[in-house]
């Protein structure tokens, strides 16, 4: 016969003693004298342990249901959905589906943004080398501010796009970037010249798209908003002037753009393109 450890027997007896009085004597008769003898030294052990062992069953709460709070009773009595509301509830999934349909990308209706993206993706074909989202490919990535690092001013960017890279092979262009200056042709690929394939309005459109949309440039200043209005108005009026590379080189920064003079515009009605502070336009005239 396997012997039951004495301390367990003692706990069992203690539990029976607390609980059901009737079963206690019948259980205790089953205990062999040997077990009783073994139990004695255990009981003489440290009193704290014995007390703790005896206390365990007593700590358990009696399985007696607490009185139900009144609000639970009320909730049980309440009808879940009133009969009149059932058709409405049934219609919720339909409503959710139709609502979700309106939650997609905000619809861009501004002709400026539409025409700018169209020039980048379709008529200019820039995305073929720079990626639809400006992530780069054959040409550099233009996204996440990278383009703004090369060309802090859009005029220098306009010259680069109009002239392409073959005209400045091996020359450095753009500002000092965290990875150094750009050197034309260093990637082994060529950026085509767009001087004759784009008009001035579409050059400004594509530059706006690359800067504001792809590279995340801040457009909130009044000068920037004015430039955007200018591009939008010319686009809507169908203005199509050829790109004047000589003029752009006068507007561009000689430090960033090979061949630029930085003189600025001498025609008040024909200021250098891009977001320009009002005084500068007046001063240039």
Q: Where on the chain is the footprint of ligand HEC (CB under 6 A)?
A: 124-126, 128-130, 138-140, 146-147, 150, 157, 160-161, 165, 174, 182, 184-187, 189-192, 194, 206, 210
172 forms beta bridges with 183
Cβ nearer to ligand HEC, comparing 191 with 228: 191
The nearest distance, CB 273 to ligand HEC, in angstroms, is 14
The nearest distance, CB 225 to ligand HEC, in angstroms, is 22
Cβ nearer to ligand HEC, comparing 126 with 200: 126
The nearest distance, CB 227 to ligand HEC, in angstroms, is 17
Cβ nearer to ligand HEC, comparing 140 with 224: 140
Cβ nearer to ligand HEC, comparing 190 with 219: 190
The nearest distance, CB 147 to ligand HEC, in angstroms, is 5
Cβ nearer to ligand HEC, comparing 199 with 280: 199
The nearest distance, CB 98 to ligand HEC, in angstroms, is 40
* CA distance to 177, 264, 272, per residue, from 261 (Å): 22, 8, 13
CB 262 within 8 A of CB 153: no
Cβ nearer to ligand HEC, comparing 186 with 240: 186
CB 114 within 8 A of CB 235: no
The nearest distance, CB 269 to ligand HEC, in angstroms, is 27
Q: Which pairing describes strands 172-177 and 180-183: parallel, antiparallel, or unpaired?
A: antiparallel
Strand, helix or coil for residue 56: helix
**Spatial CB neighbours of 21, under 8 Å, sequence gap ≥ 6:** none
In sign, the C-alpha dihedral spanning 31, 36, 42, 43 is positive
- Return d(Cα 146, Cα 133) in angstroms, integer: 13
**Spatial CB neighbours of 266, under 8 Å, sequence gap ≥ 6:** 284, 285
- Return d(Cα 113, Cα 224) in angstroms, integer: 14
């Amino acid at each position: 016969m396997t012997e039951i450890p004495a301390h367990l027997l003692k706990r069992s007896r203690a539990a029976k003693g607390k609980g059901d009085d009737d079963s206690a004597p019948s259980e205790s008769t089953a205990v062999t004298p040997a077990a009783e003898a073994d139990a004695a030294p255990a009981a003489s052990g440290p009193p704290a342990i014995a007390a703790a062992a005896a206390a365990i069953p007593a700590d358990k709460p009696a399985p007696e249901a607490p009185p139900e709070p009144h609000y639970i009773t009320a909730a049980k009595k309440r009808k879940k959905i009133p009969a009149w509301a059932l058709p409405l509830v049934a219609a919720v999934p339909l409503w959710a589906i139709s609502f979700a349909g309106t939650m997609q990308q905000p619809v861009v209706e501004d002709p400026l943004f539409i025409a700018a993206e169209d020039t980048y993706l379709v008529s200019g074909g820039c995305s073929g080398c720079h990626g639809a989202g400006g992530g780069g490919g054959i040409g550099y990535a233009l996204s996440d501010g990278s383009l703004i690092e090369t060309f802090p001013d859009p005029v220098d960017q306009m010259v680069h796009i109009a002239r392409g890279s073959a005209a400045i092979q091996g020359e450095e262009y753009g500002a000092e970037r965290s990875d150094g200056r750009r050197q034309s042709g260093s990637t082994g690929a060529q950026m085509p010249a767009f001087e004759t394939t784009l008009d001035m309005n579409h050059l400004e459109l594509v530059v706006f798209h690359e800067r504001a949309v792809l590279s995340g440039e801040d457009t909130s200043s009044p000068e920037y908003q004015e430039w955007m209005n200018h591009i939008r108005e010319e686009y809507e009026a169908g203005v199509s002037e050829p790109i004047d590379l000589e003029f752009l080189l006068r507007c561009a920064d000689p430090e960033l753009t090979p061949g630029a003079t930085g003189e600025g515009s001498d025609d008040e009605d024909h200021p250098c393109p891009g977001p320009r502070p009002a005084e500068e336009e007046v001063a240039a005239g």
